Amino acid sequence: MFDPDTQCPGWTAAVADVQKAVDDRVWITAATNQNYAVTSLTYDPTGYDADGKLSDCAVQVSMFGFDYSFVVAEAMNLFDAATSGAIIAEYAIAAAKVMH
């Protein structure tokens, strides 16, 4: 019979690491399609800071067959789509992880 503690040092830790990785990604199994779209972004037009960035933007996203709503607290330059898009995507994934 296999005894992981004596025959394979690290076995138990490796199995635990694999299980944690599976658990961390279980939210993606709820996906019903491959869509991702920012469907709404609202903000206070008087809320621009000295760098031309907005914070506390209310965002709605459709992703993987589900709709998510959240507020992006950190300041974003909406004209810098690469940076603000990445921030919004991070928030969307965090919302999906909480929901599923």
Please check whether residues 77 and 92 belong to one and the same domain: yes
What tokens were used for 37? 């779209």
Question: Do 42 and 69 belong to one domain?
Answer: yes
Within this chain, do residues 64 and 37 fall inside the same structural domain, yes or no? yes
Whether 50 and 93 map to the same domain: the answer is yes
Between 6 and 41, whose confidence is greater? 41
Number of domains in the chain: 2
The predicted model scores a pTM of: 0.76
Clarify whether residues 71 and 90 are in a common domain: yes
| Torsion over CA: 84, 86, 90, 93 (sign) | positive
Range of the domain at 3: 1-30
Contact 67, 39 (CB under 8 A): yes
The residue behind tokens 């609202």 is 42
Examine the domain organization and report whether 61 and 89 are in the same domain.
Answer: yes
38 and 76 both lie in a single domain:
yes
Q: Based on the domain organization, do 25 and 61 belong to the same domain? A: no
Residues 42 and 58 in one domain: yes
pLDDT tens digits, one per residue of 61-96? 999 999 999 999 999 999 999 999 999 999 999 999
If asked whether residues 23 and 41 sit together in one domain, one would say no
54-66 confidence digits (pLDDT tens): 999 999 999 999 9
Q: Angle at Cα 26 formed by Cα 23 and Cα 27, nearest 5°?
A: 130
